[in-house]
Amino acid sequence: MLLRCTGYGAEELDEKVDAIFQELHIYEELSPGMTVVLKPNLVMTSKPEEAIITHPALVAAVGKCVQRAGAKVLIAESPGGPYTPMTMKAAFRGCGYTDMAEACGFSLYTDCESREVPLPGGVRCRRMAIVSPFLGADYLIDLAKLKTHSMVGFSGAVKNMFGAVPGLKKPELHCRFPEKPEFSEMLLDLCDFLQPDLCITDGIWAMEGNGPTGGTRRDLGVLAASKSPYAVDVCCAKLAGLEAGQVLMLRYAAERGLVPQSIDGLELLGDSLESLSVPDFQKAEASSTDFIDRLPRFLRPAAKKLATPYPRIEKKSCVGCGKCAESCPQNTIEIKDHKAEIDYRRCIRCFCCHEMCPKHVIEIRRLRLFNV
Ligand code: SF4
Ligand code: SF4
């Protein structure tokens, strides 16, 4: 279901979210006594107007609908970096969630407990640590942000579930699955395991360019909802100018039979895709490596290495906070004389450092030769 939503005013949001709950029969699935876990995207502490996080006003509107059905609201998330009660309280406060939750009577999860669990249906990954509330949720609502993503191309409902993995366990997964295809399959395994009951993606202020944290806000004015994270992502990727086949995790989701191969196979409710589409939505900086398959086999590894974008620190603006080093799965960043430095020999180009830099001074570069 796609809806035009012009801003984050409470009246408009309440009306649109209520329409989603009615149209998708969500009220009938909720009952008094249930605890509904809301999973926003709070990848890093930032102000809602930067379009990095799910806007707290949307979370408030969704939580109020949940309360209307008599259920309780628990907001849970694990951003990048260490996952402790102190860091989590600071993240909620810095993102404007503490005041919102107090005003609405929602609980914020700050105990930071997690458990290692098997993923019985996992194709690529069959075991991982998950933050506790996601394991025992009566009902799970995935509240993603519509953004581009430097590593996997697009960040929406499927990618948002990666926040169910506790803080520093995320870099471990980057290490286990350093290549985009394996990483995308792992994301699908995780999403398939958690199976959110409802997904609402915040595309009111979306992010284009080098998302998920270093891009530019683009005011799309869209709310997208579905009971399927794959279907909502196919629609949102299309709004971001990407066909499902261009985003590996969505291509694999179609191959696994989780979503139709193309948007034409989906039943769309609400406003039409055409009426909500915008021209020239900027993609994340990524190399087209298709041409590599046409090179002689012995040249491919070197060509791939050259063609893959790499992180570059703007030393002048680096404040030496160490957030990049903390998030680097390869421990290949050192702080020397209050400036971060990357040892590229061990860099797997996962862009966790780019994602976590609060000053946005880690650029994504590629050689001009491949800048096509
Ligand atoms: S996170 Fe950014 S500002 Fe902080 S040390 Fe790394 S590059 Fe510098
Ligand atoms: S330096 Fe950055 S891109 Fe390279 S492995 Fe570390 S976090 Fe990933």
Residue 295: CATH number of its domain: 3.30.70.20
Q: What is the mean pLDDT of residues 162-175?
A: 91
Residues 198 and 255 in one domain: yes
- Token digits for 210? 């080098």
Please check whether residue 323 lies inside any domain of the structure: yes
Q: Is 361 in the pocket of ligand 1 (CB under 6 A)?
A: yes
Q: What is the mean pLDDT of residues 333-351?
A: 93
User: Which residue owns the Cα nearest ligand 1 atom 4?
Assistant: 321
**Residue 283 alpha carbon to ligand 2 centre in Å:** 21
| Res 294 pLDDT > 80 | no
CB 55 within 8 A of CB 49: no
| Res 287 pLDDT > 50 | no
Distance CA 34, CA 63 (A): 13
Structure confidence at residue 309 as a pLDDT band (50, 70, 90) = confident
Distance CA 330, CA 350 (A): 10
**230 lies in which domain range?**
2-276
The share of the chain scoring above pLDDT 90, in percent, equals 80
Residues 318 and 347 in one domain: yes
Closest approach atom of ligand 2 to CA 351: 3
Mean pLDDT for the chain? 92
Segments in 77-217 forming alpha helices (H): 85-94, 97-104, 157-160, 169-176, 180-194
**Ligand 2 pocket test target in 170, 174, 176, 342 with most atoms within 8 Å of CB:** 342
| Res 360 pLDDT > 50 | yes
Distance CA 224, CA 233 (A): 9
Helix (H, G, I), strand (E, B) or coil at 350: coil
Please check whether residue 285 lies inside any domain of the structure: no
Q: What is the mean pLDDT of residues 116-144?
A: 96
Please check whether residue 107 lies inside any domain of the structure: yes
Domain boundary among 276, 310, 328: 276
In angstroms, what CA-CA distances link 56 with 71, 203, 238? 19, 13, 25
For the ranges 24-33, 144-153, 302-311, the lowest mean pLDDT is seen at: 302-311
User: Which residue owns the Cα nearest ligand 1 atom 2?
Assistant: 357
Please check whether residue 160 lies inside any domain of the structure: yes
Query: What integer pLDDT is reported at residue 81 of this predicted model?
Result: 86
| Res 131 pLDDT > 80 | yes
Closest approach atom of ligand 2 to CA 171: 7
Residues 266 and 302 in one domain: no
Report the candidate in 200, 206, 187, 168 with the shortest Cα–Cα distance to residue 38: 200
Residue in this structure with the two tokens 């994270």, named with its chain if needed: 229
**Residue 361 alpha carbon to ligand 1 centre in Å:** 7
**Residue 13 alpha carbon to ligand 2 centre in Å:** 38
Whole-structure pTM value: 0.89
Domain boundary among 245, 276, 307: 276
How many structural domains is the chain composed of? 2
User: Which residue owns the Cα nearest ligand 2 atom 7?
Assistant: 328
**Ligand 2 pocket test target in 173, 310, 326, 353 with most atoms within 8 Å of CB:** 353
CB 225 within 8 A of CB 22: no
Residues 237 and 342 in one domain: no
Query: What integer pLDDT is reported at residue 372 of this predicted model?
Result: 34
Residues 12 and 76 in one domain: yes
Please check whether residue 282 lies inside any domain of the structure: no
| Res 288 pLDDT > 70 | no
Please check whether residue 333 lies inside any domain of the structure: yes
| Res 370 pLDDT > 70 | no
| Res 305 pLDDT > 90 | no
